[in-house]
Amino acid sequence: MPPSPTYRASFSIGDEAAAKRVVDVLTEIFFDGDAAVAAFEQPDGRWDVTLHFADAPDQAFLREIVEKNAGSAIAATLTFDTVEAKDWVKASLEDLVPVPAGRFIVHGSHDRARVPHNKLGIEIEAALAFGTGHHGTTRGCLLLLDHVLKSGRPTNLLDLGTGTGVLAIAAAKALHRAVLASDIDAPSVQVARENAALNGVRNAVRAIRATGFAAPDFAKAGPFDLVLANILANPLRQLSGPMARHLAPGAQVILSGLLTPQAPAVIAAYRARGLVPLRHLKVEGWSSLLLKKVG
């Protein structure tokens, strides 16, 4: 059976502040996994905002939201189309080169032979899940993971919002430890499992479908001493309380998926839960944070 298409809605907006405001609203509305929201800055300073839906969206409803929060002129630029899964796969990897991030290097199967012997290769094939390593948020997480591993060896790990599983695979390969990986999206969970098998860590990466920390698997597996969460700013803020309750004393947390102006609000949410920032890494306009639980 051929893979199903995804449905895409796109519009452009003039400046970062306006883009942040609209992305925050859209993320709140589609928090339960109905859509994936992304924003990217163009060379001329404008921002492209894109939503991907598994099912055809209510176009009138979405246009009304954009008009209410960005104005009628922006809403008029809103376009809708479909993206065939096989075309997305082809476009995502064929022209991409291996991406280094500290000791890690993310690559497709066509670049397997180009991985240096002194690097940990993570082979990721594109699919309907986010995180091939070529996005600034994923690379930021990998760089912070590399930094954490230079001074310690965490033993109980969680990759929250795993997408393709790249972060869970990186941790499992570097530490030879079991990693719990979760995502709200069933196709992402399946992709993460397939990529874990592809990278020889099928038995180390346990991928589950779960929203937030609601599943009993988290209580059974925790408390965690390292959590990686490459999601979006609003969900990360909302998860600060549940995450803190699932952390061991002294645990470290790597957060990403943040536009750089969103980082202070996320830091404040976690500081209120007893986590202090250790590093703030900016890659391609996106922020990745390393925090530590104190007390």
Judged against a pLDDT cut of 50, whether residue 265 lies above it is answered with yes
List Cβ<8 Å contacts ≥24 apart for 273-282. 273/240, 273/241, 273/243, 273/244, 274/244, 275/240, 275/244, 275/247, 278/252, 279/144, 279/147, 281/140, 281/143, 281/144, 282/140
> What phi and psi, each to the nearest 5 degrees, are found at residue 110?
-70, -10
pTM for the structure as a whole: 0.71
Residue 102 · residue 142 · CB < 8 Å: yes
Find residue 16's DSSP bridge partners: none
Q: Which residue has the higher pLDDT, 267 or 100?
A: 267
Binned at pLDDT 50, 70 and 90, residue 183 comes out as: very high
Packing angle of the helix pair 166-175, 136-149 (nearest 10 deg): 20
Judged against a pLDDT cut of 80, whether residue 255 lies above it is answered with yes
> How many other CB atoms are found less than 10 A from the CB of residue 77?
14
Q: Which of 228, 227, 224, 239 is nearest to 272 (CA)?
A: 239
What tens digit of pLDDT does each residue of 118-132 get? 889 998 865 444 444
Mean pLDDT lowest among 48-52, 135-139, 147-151, 273-277: 135-139
- In this prediction, residues 187-203 reach a mean pLDDT of 92
Binned at pLDDT 50, 70 and 90, residue 30 comes out as: confident
| Residues above pLDDT 70, as percent of the chain | 88
- In this prediction, residues 270-293 reach a mean pLDDT of 94
What tens digit of pLDDT does each residue of 59-94 get? 999 999 889 888 888 988 899 998 765 544 455 545
Most distant CA atoms of the chain, gap in Å: 54
Spatial distance between the Cα atoms of 137 and 142, rounded to a whole number of angstroms: 9
What is residue 132's predicted lDDT score, i.e. its pLDDT?
47
